[in-house]
Amino acid sequence: MEEPINKFIKILVTGAKGQLGRCLQDVAIRFPNYDFHFKSSTDLDITSKAGIETLFESEKFDYCINCAAYTAVDKAETDQEKAFLVNAEAVKYLAEGCKEHKTILIHISTDFVFDGAKRTPYTEEDIPNPKNVYGASKLKGEHYVQEILEHYFIIRTSWVYSEYGHNFVKTMLRLGKERKEISVVNDQLGSPTYAGDLASVILKIVSSKKVRYGLYHYSNEGVASWYDFAKAIFDKIGNEIHITPITTLEFPTPAKRPEFSVMDKSKFKNIFKVETEEWKDSLNKVLPLIK
């Protein structure tokens, strides 16, 4: 099923200075017929209901891509109020604005809504059970979207990195310059995902004109531990740093992480006819881009 879309569609992108927001700006140049409005937190405070209402009243957006999020997983344990404000209440304000002004919301969520007890890839039908405040706040944001809107896409993704911002890849590259050996957790499994690939598939949703609204999983293909991820980074750049695999118990963090958060992407691939790249292939694309 398809719906007609104007040649020039107007797209609001929140969180424009984050990893995904910046990758969307890179991908946007391939869509000259789309009118993108990139808003960082200084341009648009999504926690301000009045600010959102004012923006939606002054501009008619066809789509809102919400990349804004509170992503400090460990800090969220002691900063619960802000995590829920940004990841849940602000999402509610955006959803209400989208509903009133007939805007389609594309909202980004996380694999951390799951507890990791499963040992086969999570589908969209699996029941979430977050183990930490960050996951709980993101799940509440999902619920607001589903309660308020009919025309929405929620995309859960995982282990996001890019050439921008702060992320695991950049941390490993920095440690590789500072140390001769490091220890990395080897008993948490997921799928590293390049934000540039995610940005491309988000705009694939828009350009497909399909109205198969709902919840979707997307990540790069394959399964890795953080140790596997680190090893692949150093192998690619030729750094012979010694990496010791350790358990989660040996590296305690304020927030508990799921031991297994690999997601089944078949629904997304079947409906939007996209190929998902292997995580190592995408990593190889990104490493030369990191200064």
Active-site amino acid positions: 134
For 117, the 3-state DSSP assignment is: coil
- On whether the CB atoms of residues 46 and 65 are closer than 8 A, the answer is no
The torsion region of residue 189 among left (phi > 0), alpha (psi -120 to 50) and beta comes to beta
What gap in Å lies between CA 125 and CA 278, rounded to an integer? 24
Cβ neighbours of residue 277 under 8 Å, at least 6 residues apart?
Answer: 194, 197, 220, 221
Q: How far apart are CA 194 and CA 27, in angstroms?
A: 13
In this prediction, residue 65 carries a pLDDT of: 98
Tell me the fold of 9-167+191-222+261-278: Rossmann fold (3.40.50)
pLDDT of residue 7: 56
Scanning the structure block, which residue is given the tokens 């399909």? 210
For residue 65, give the H/E element and its range.
strand 63-66
Note the pLDDT of residue 291: 74
Q: Bridge-partner residues for 154, per DSSP? A: 107, 215
Cα gap 29→19, rounded to integer Å: 17
Give the burial string for 56-74 (b: 16+ CB within 10 Å, else e): beeeebbbbbbbbbbbebe
Exposure class string for 216-226: b at 16+ Cβ within 10 A, else e? bbbbbbbebbb
Can you give the residue ranges of every domain in the chain? Answer: 9-167+191-222+261-278
Contact 227, 185 (CB under 8 A): yes
pLDDT in tens, the chain (291 residues): 444 444 589 999 999 999 999 999 999 999 999 999 999 999 999 999 999 999 999 999 999 999 999 999 999 999 999 999 999 999 999 999 999 999 999 999 999 999 999 999 999 999 999 999 999 999 999 999 999 999 999 999 999 999 999 999 999 999 999 999 999 999 999 999 999 999 999 999 999 988 899 999 999 999 999 999 999 999 999 999 999 999 999 999 999 999 999 999 999 999 999 989 999 999 999 999 997
193: left (phi over 0), alpha (psi -120 to 50) or beta: beta
Which phi and psi angles does 239 have, rounded to 5°?
-90, 125
Residue 66 main-chain phi, psi, to 5 deg: -90, 100
Strand 224-225 to strand 189-190: parallel, antiparallel, or no bridges (unpaired)?
Answer: antiparallel
